[in-house]
């Protein structure tokens, strides 16, 4: 099971959208405080829709608390940042990888990135763009990890419902 880690997320709609994406992909969501909202906020529930109740989510007091309670993430904790030298498609994501994203206004603090530099990845974009929306960034990297695993246990085929039109 893949793990999405949000460090100090600030915008409830982004976190709600990410929660919905986690439910749709069977991924776990880890939220590291402080959060810029309350978990029960209306915007969070609206973005996550009725999926929030199905979300596997854990909240941590801080980054140290997250690391202490998830020792298995060592060596497979990837950090998405515009400061990375490696593109996210260069990584071979493990089935139980942890993919971390920073808060919307500032990303992941440099003191954390420096300690994990070899695990930092970036999404390519034009030079003058500060960053992508957080929920879009999570979806891009998460679906690459899922693609690498051949979308294991995910529904791959859809079906059109043929309508019969009268002339």
Residue 158 among known ligand-binding residues: no
Please check if 123 is assigned to a binding site: yes
Q: How many CB atoms lie within 10 A of CB 82?
A: 16
- C-alpha distances out from residue 163 to 3, 136, 159, 167, Å: 40, 34, 12, 13
Q: Are strands 77-80 and 57-60 parallel, antiparallel or unpaired?
A: unpaired
Helices (H), the chain: 12-25, 42-48, 63-69, 110-115, 134-148
pLDDT of residue 48: 54
Q: So what's the pLDDT on residue 130?
A: 85
pLDDT confidence of residue 166: 58
- Residue 131 is assigned to a ligand binding site: yes
Q: Which positions ≥6 away from 6 have C-beta within 8 Å?
A: 15, 18, 29, 30, 31, 32, 100, 101, 103, 134
**pLDDT given for residue 155 in this prediction:** 82
Backbone angles phi, psi at 10, to 5 degrees: -110, -25
Q: Where are the domains of the chain?
A: 3-148
List, in order, residues 6 or more apart from 116 with CB less than 8 Å away.
77, 79
**Block mean pLDDT (10 aa), the chain, length 167:** 97 91 96 88 60 89 98 97 96 97 96 96 92 96 96 83 64
Give me the count of residues in the chain. Answer: 167
Architecture label for domain 3-148: 3-Layer(aba) Sandwich (3.40)
Quote the tokens at residue 29.
């969501």
CB 19 within 8 A of CB 58: no
Query: DSSP 3-state assignment of 74?
Result: coil
């Amino acid at each position: 099971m893949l793990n999405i880690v949000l460090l100090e997320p600030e915008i409830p709609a982004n976190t709600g959208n990410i929660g919905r994406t986690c439910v749709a992909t069977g991924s776990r969501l880890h939220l590291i405080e402080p959060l810029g909202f309350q978990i029960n906020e209306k915007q969070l529930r609206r973005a996550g829709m009725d999926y929030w109740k199905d979300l596997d989510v854990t909240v941590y007091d801080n980054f140290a608390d997250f690391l202490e309670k998830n020792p298995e993430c060592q060596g497979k904790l990837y950090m998405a940042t515009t400061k990375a030298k490696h593109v996210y498609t260069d990584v071979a994501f493990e089935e139980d990888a942890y993919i971390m994203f920073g808060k919307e206004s500032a990303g992941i603090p440099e003191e954390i990135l420096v300690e994990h530099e070899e695990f930092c990845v970036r999404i390519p974009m034009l030079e003058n763009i500060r960053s992508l929306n957080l929920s879009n960034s999570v979806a891009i990297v998460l679906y690459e990890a899922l693609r690498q695993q051949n979308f294991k246990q995910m529904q791959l085929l859809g079906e059109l419902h043929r309508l019969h039109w009268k002339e």
